[in-house]
Amino acid sequence: MNDYLVKALAYDGSIRAYAVRTTETISEAQRRHQTWRTASAALGRAMTAGVMMGAMLKGEDMLTIKINGGGPIGHILVDSNAKGEVRGYVSNPKVDFESNEHGKLDVRRAVGTDGLLSVVKDIGLRDFFSGQVPIVSGELGEDFTYYFATSEQTPSSVGVGVLVNPDDTILAAGGFILQIMPGAEDAVITKVEERLKTISPISTLIEQGLTPEEILAELFGEDHIKIIETMPVKFQCTCSKERFADAIIGLGKAEIKAMIEEDGQAEAHCHFCNEKYHFSKEELETLEEEAK
C-alpha cells in the first residue's frame, strides 16, 4: 500500500479530520539518515504530524516545524507543503534507549521536555505566520495537540505513531488529527473523547493494514464520515545541484576563488535528505565567472 492522506468531515461537519499512512515516507527518511530506533520514532512522529499540517494549507503554501526539547536527539526540523510532500531530519540520528514503562520506544527521553515546538507558515504573504509553544510531553502527539489549542485556538487531538523493527527499519507509521469545529454539540465531543480513550494506538492500526479511511471509521463509525479529498504522501526534498550552485555564486568571487586555491573542489551537503553534491575545480571556475 502506498502512503496517502485523507481529509474528511465527521458528524455533519462538527469535526474536521485527517488520517494518513506514512510508512514508506518515514522508511525513506530512516534510510537516508540511518536513524536508530528511538530517533526514527521521534522523527517519524514529527514528519507525520507535519504532512497532515501541510495538508491544511493551500496552493504553494509551506510550513516548517522545529522541535527542540533539550534531549539527546537535539533538534528535529520538518518541512511540508500542501501537496503531501514532506522532508525532515534530526541533529543526532544515533539515539536509542530501552523501552519505557509502557513497553514503547522512549521518545520523551530522546526529545526532552525543556524546550519549544515552533511552527512557521509561509502562506504567500509578506509576513510569515509563526506560533510557538513549550513542549509539554516530549511524546509529540500531545505536544502538537497543545500547539493547536494554544497557538491556533483550535481544540484538537493529534495521534502519531511509528513502529520500528529490531534492525532499525520502519514497520508501520501513520497518524490522525481531529479538530472540533465551532458549534459542535457537547454530545458529539463527548462521544469522540470516549472513543479516543479506547481505540488502539495509531501505529498498531497501520500495522494491522487499516487504510486511512478505515482508521477514521474506527474513530467515528462509517456512517458519520464524509471523505473530502485524498492525496499521495511522500518524502520529497527540494535540494538540487543547481540550487547549491546558485548558493555558491551568492558567496561572491573572492570566496569561490579561495575554495579553488585551498581545496580545488567543493562538496555541498543537504541536511534534509543527506544528499551530497560534488563540485570540481572546473565547475567552481565556471561559478566564479558567473559570480563576476
Q: Is the dihedral of CA 188, 193, 195, 200 positive or negative?
A: positive
Domain boundary (218, 235, 252) is at 235
| DSSP state at residue 168 | S
pLDDT at 230: 97
Integer distance in angstroms from the first to the last C-alpha of the chain?
A: 51
User: How many Cα atoms are found within 13 Å in the side-chain-facing hemisphere of 53?
Assistant: 32
Asked if 72 and 141 touch (Cβ cutoff 8 Å), the reply is no
Number of structural domains in the chain: 2
Q: Are residues 88 and 218 in the same domain?
A: yes
User: HSE (CB half, 13 Å, CA atoms) of 19?
Assistant: 23
CA distance 29 to 40: 8
Q: Does one domain contain both 101 and 224?
A: yes
Tens digits of residue pLDDT in 271-289: 999 999 999 989 988 998 8
Q: Pick from 158, 150, 162: which is nearest to 177 by CA? A: 158
Based on the fold, state whether residues 192 and 272 are members of the same structural domain. no
Per-chain mean pLDDT for the chain: 93
Residues 165, 79 share a domain: yes
pTM: 0.92
> Do residues 249 and 165 share a domain?
no
CA 241 to chain centre: 24
Q: Are residues 137 and 277 in the same domain?
A: no
User: Following CA atoms 183, 187, 192, 198 in sequence, which dihedral angle do they give, to the nearest 10 degrees?
Assistant: 170
Phi and psi angles of residue 279, each rounded to the nearest 5 degrees, phi first = -120, 120
- Rounded to whole angstroms, the Cα distance separating 122 from 49 reads 17
Contact between residue 105 and residue 41 where contact means Cβ atoms under 8 Å apart:
yes
56: confidence class by pLDDT, cuts 50, 70, 90:
very high
Cell digits for 97? 534507549
CB 240: neighbour CB atoms within 10 A?
Answer: 12
Last residue of a domain, one of 235, 250, 265: 235
Decide which of 235, 266, 282 is a domain's last residue: 235
Measured in degrees and rounded to the nearest 5, phi and psi for residue 46 equal -65, -45
Task: Write out the residue range of the structural domain in which residue 165 sits.
Answer: 4-235
Q: What is the pLDDT of residues 165-210, one digit of tens each?
A: 999 999 999 999 999 999 899 999 999 999 999 999 998 999 999 9
> b or e along 91-108 (b: 16 or more beta carbons within 10 Å of the residue's beta carbon)?
eebebbbeeeeeebbbbb
Q: In whole angstroms, give the CA distance from residue 221 to residue 10.
A: 9
**Does residue 122 sit in the same domain as residue 257?**
no
Together in a domain, 115 and 252:
no
Cell of 37: 530506533
Over residues 97-142, the pLDDT tens digits come to 888 777 788 999 999 999 999 999 987 766 688 899 999 999 999 9
CATH of the domain at 246: 3.90.1280.10
Q: Is residue 118 domain-shared with residue 202, that is, in the same domain?
A: yes
Tell me, yes or no, whether 141 and 267 share the same domain.
no
- For residue 209, give the C-alpha cell: 493494514
Residue 13, pLDDT score: 93
